[in-house]
Structure 1
């Protein structure tokens, strides 16, 4: 058989795992013991939905104290304004000194500043009270409960202790994170069409190459790809095994019947005919199907291959080719 190249459309196969679009360990915005958890593992939640609540008694007391401080500062500001108005009214008649006018102006400015400070402190305590209820940051699924009610949560990494109560994953869109051999790095492009086969599902899912990691793993010699998959009904769970077949443009390839290859994949060889003699040639190949292989190296177009060499054939042995009709 005279070797010729032909266009081969062979998908790149990549293997990996299904991952959520986002996965978050949801912690408390304020410190304190968990008073109530409103959800359980498996619940689907909407953005803004309450997830759990920190005990509110201390924060409610802080709000009451801050409100009292605002009331006090407001009363003092009113008194300062009245004093200021009385002094200013007497100033044109010469009944008060310049120093007295300056004093009441300063007292009024201080009282107004103290009121503004108290109002700001009240806002802070009110926000802290509101933050005792932790809400879902996005639509998702509760995938783990990390604490029970009564456990103290802190929001300081340096403080030690537990800081997260729940794990939440956004599964409306999932991603197949797969790894492809480095030899395809120059062929892969964003938006290439792909099919993703997921463990437990009979039919593949259509996708595209959305992200190509620029880093090639130096140990596995693989490149990471991410392929998004719409998952509106949350049918696909994170953690499932996935296999992607990425469609790359056709490229010239040497394809031979499997019967031409001798030996195993680690020491494969075949025989070509040169000057009327059999010549052993080491090759590398990939399987296309049960009957065909693609030669990666060791053979060039135009050379003549013995398709079904006998086991007794030796390198340098004289042979006579039996060409099929049309071969020269």
Structure 2
């Protein structure tokens, strides 16, 4: 029997409602069965406390412990350059040669003048020897004898003067050989072969610098100088113009110079423009590795403090500030800290953290404050790995 049209519509509506409700019920059941994501896994380490050195750093400029400008003492044409630029030289080594021929000729001339003066002296001596007995016999006047004696004395003076001129001519001839005045490293030549050079030249021919030891100059502030002096006074260290401080040197490539330095001098006065004192130190420099003009970082251990340290990987920099992530009761906590100097692979924390608190070393970027975490102990990297602090 056929169903009325109204019944067919009711049955169709029920089927449509049933087909609509069933999928929603299935989705709700699926959501209820889905498990929450597990807490992020992180690696942690406790903040430690130990004594660390208080290290001060300054920027230093390297220069020769001795610097000698090599200048000609006589004028002439440069004949040769007799050294290798940038190479070590010894005191007395030949550096330049000026054309010696004019000076050789001058020496020959003054030697001839000396011989002439000797001849004149001989004649004067003979005149005095001849006039003396004649004056005694009154064959000549006493005045003539006196004139002969004066002529003899003048001839002796001319001989002495000629000897002095010869000595000066020999010196000038020797000055055509320009030698190094010190042991050191010779710089580039400022003049070319064939140039006319002289003692009034504005530039030296070259400069020789002693670089072993090498001198390092650096500046400290007036406040730092005064604080250091007061600390020395409190410690009972006798006042000394030059404190006995051992210095270190770190080069531009990060390499630490293997030889310690010694403080040599402190400037007499403070620089009114910069408010700093200038200090100089000497460092041994075997092999002449360090050269004048280089820049380096000078450091000195000024004392020790008990400090809180964490691995450098645990510190995150955010817009110029630093923070660490901790694990407290199984949850992450983000805390701002004040950092100090780095100590090996660790970082000194001056404030914001206590020794023994657990910090996140790996995985801090995955957590937020109050988030549950799954913590595991962190193992320090092998020697030679370079830890880097996490950053955004």
TM (normalized to structure 2)?
0.61
**Alignment match, 1:233:** 287
Structure holding more helix per residue: 2
User: Please, which of 53, 56, 61 is the counterpart of residue 100 of structure 2?
Assistant: 56
Unaligned 5+ segments in structure 2 are 1-49, 230-241, 322-337, 352-356, 358-368, 370-392
**Structure 2 residue 251 is the aligned partner of structure 1 residue 207:** no
Distance 1:102 1:171, change over 3 A: same
TM (normalized to structure 1)?
0.72
Task: Tell me the CA shift for residue 32 of structure 1.
Answer: 1.1
**Alignment match, 1:197:** 250
CA distance in structure 2 between the partners assigned to 1:153 and 1:205 by the alignment:
41
SS in 1 for 2:267: strand
SS in 1 for 2:205: strand
User: Please, which of 146, 162, 177 is the counterpart of residue 217 of structure 2?
Assistant: 177
CA distance in structure 2 between the partners assigned to 1:65 and 1:11 by the alignment:
69
Q: Is the 8 A contact 1:152 1:162 kept in 2?
A: no
Task: Tell me the CA shift for residue 220 of structure 1.
Answer: 4.2
**Alignment match, 1:73:** 117
Q: Is the 8 A contact 1:146 1:167 kept in 2?
A: no
1:54-107 residue CA offsets vs partner (Å, 9 max, x unmatched): 111211111111011100000000010011001112222222211111111111
CA distance in structure 2 between the partners assigned to 1:153 and 1:294 by the alignment:
63
SS in 1 for 2:145: helix
Task: Tell me the CA shift for residue 9 of structure 1.
Answer: 4.1
Q: Is the 8 A contact 2:249 2:296 kept in 1?
A: yes
Unaligned 5+ segments in structure 1 are 1-5, 267-284, 296-306, 313-328
Q: Is the 8 A contact 1:14 1:178 kept in 2?
A: yes
CA distance in structure 2 between the partners assigned to 1:162 and 1:152 by the alignment:
13
**Alignment match, 2:153:** 109
User: Please, which of 73, 79, 88 is the counterpart of residue 44 of structure 1?
Assistant: 88
**Structure 2 residue 126 is the aligned partner of structure 1 residue 82:** yes
Distance 1:162 1:93, change over 3 A: same
CA distance in structure 1 between the partners assigned to 2:161 and 2:213 by the alignment:
46
Task: Tell me the CA shift for residue 225 of structure 1.
Answer: 1.8
Distance 1:221 1:97, change over 3 A: closer
Q: Is the 8 A contact 1:15 1:180 kept in 2?
A: no
Q: Is the 8 A contact 2:248 2:257 kept in 1?
A: no
Distance 1:122 1:257, change over 3 A: closer
CA distance in structure 1 between the partners assigned to 2:257 and 2:276 by the alignment:
26
Task: Tell me the CA shift for residue 216 of structure 1.
Answer: 3.5
Distance 1:182 1:256, change over 3 A: farther
SS in 2 for 1:10: strand
**Alignment match, 2:73:** 29
**Alignment match, 1:132:** 176
